[in-house]
């Protein structure tokens, strides 16, 4: 049984012969190894060409911004998995990445798609403010949160987001996506009834999309960045384990509310 189209059997990423390995048109050994930093190589793999200076700069900025944020759910899941299965380092990394969704870690992708909706309406002839207002009103009607805004800890402003946006202004890379982000920020009190700070998951897609990173690969930024952090946490877990402490604290602080067992009288 054939599933899906079968008329484009090719890849443009990598090929090899007995003599060499070619990646996106570059000789891996002679042109890439020792000459290209990993961030640039990541951009090449995803986008098909080497990044320019601003693209490499902002890829580095957003990867470092989102990599580490303490004992967040992905880290807790990974450390508890390694505690239970110390032979499965890769399984523990996978456990940490499997929860990359619309609430935690994958929310930059959700925010990016929301910003793209605003920019698309603007490109169809609306003003940026009108486009932002229309998209906000759609969210409000659906009872949904505004992705990329608000933070339970950094309620007065996410310092990571502020730094990213300041760098975009400094590097003069602000485009339609940051424009959409700022328009949403301005209109939030009027449309949604209260102001919310821009968080890092709003600033990341706005800044990286403005320099040309593909929308479809946005989640890859969070996945790659958090993988680096997970490896660090798992190395620490192997030396100073806290996985079972985390598990024990969870059991200690969660109250059982199910039925009591029946007893024979």
What is the Cα–Cα distance from 223 to 66, expressed in whole angstroms? 9
Residue 155 pLDDT greater than 80, yes or no: no
Task: Please report how the helices 159-171 and 200-210 are oriented relative to each other, as an axis angle in degrees rounded to 10.
Answer: 20
Enumerate domains of the chain plus CATH numbers. 74-245 (1.10.230.10)
Over its C-alpha atoms, the chain yields an Rg (Å, rounded) of 22
CA 222/CA 213 separation, integer angstroms: 13
Q: What is the mean pLDDT of residues 128-153?
A: 93
Per-residue pLDDT at 265 exceeds 60 = no
Question: What pLDDT score does 39 carry?
Answer: 98
pLDDT at 209 over 70: yes
| Poorest-pLDDT segment among 4-8, 28-32, 50-54 | 4-8
The pLDDT of residue 154? 67
Q: Which residues does residue 188 pair with via DSSP β-bridges, in sequence order? A: none
**Strand ranges inside 153-220, DSSP E:** none
- Rounded to two decimals, the pTM is 0.92
Given a cut of 70, whether residue 178 has pLDDT beyond it is: yes
Residue 175 three-state SS: coil
pLDDT at 167: 98
């Amino acid at each position: 049984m054939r599933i899906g189209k079968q008329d484009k059997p090719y890849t443009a990423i990598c090929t090899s012969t007995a003599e060499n390995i070619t990646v996106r048109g570059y000789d891996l050994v002679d042109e890439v190894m020792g000459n290209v930093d990993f961030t640039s190589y990541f951009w090449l793999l995803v986008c098909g060409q080497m990044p320019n200076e601003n693209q490499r700069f902002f890829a580095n900025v957003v990867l470092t911004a989102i990599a580490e944020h303490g004992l967040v759910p992905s880290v807790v899941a990974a450390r508890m998995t390694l505690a239970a299965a110390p032979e499965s380092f890769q399984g523990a990394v996978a456990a940490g990445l499997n929860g990359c969704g619309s609430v935690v870690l994958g929310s930059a992708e959700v925010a990016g798609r929301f910003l793209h909706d605003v920019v698309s309406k603007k490109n169809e002839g609306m003003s940026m403010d009108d486009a932002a207002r229309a998209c906000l009103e759609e969210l409000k009607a659906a009872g949904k949160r505004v992705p990329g805004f608000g933070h339970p800890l950094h309620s007065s402003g996410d310092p990571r987001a502020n730094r990213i946006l300041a760098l975009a202004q400094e590097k003069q890379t602000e485009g339609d996506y940051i424009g959409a982000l700022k328009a949403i920020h301005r209109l939030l009190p009027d449309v949604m009834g209260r102001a919310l700070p821009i968080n890092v998951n709003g600033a990341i897609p706005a800044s990286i999309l403005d320099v040309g990173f593909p929308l479809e690969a946005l989640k890859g930024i969070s996945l790659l960045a958090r993988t680096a952090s997970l490896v660090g946490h798992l190395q620490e877990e192997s030396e100073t384990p806290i996985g079972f402490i985390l598990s024990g604290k969870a059991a200690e602080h969660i109250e059982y509310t199910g039925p009591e067992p029946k007893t024979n009288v």
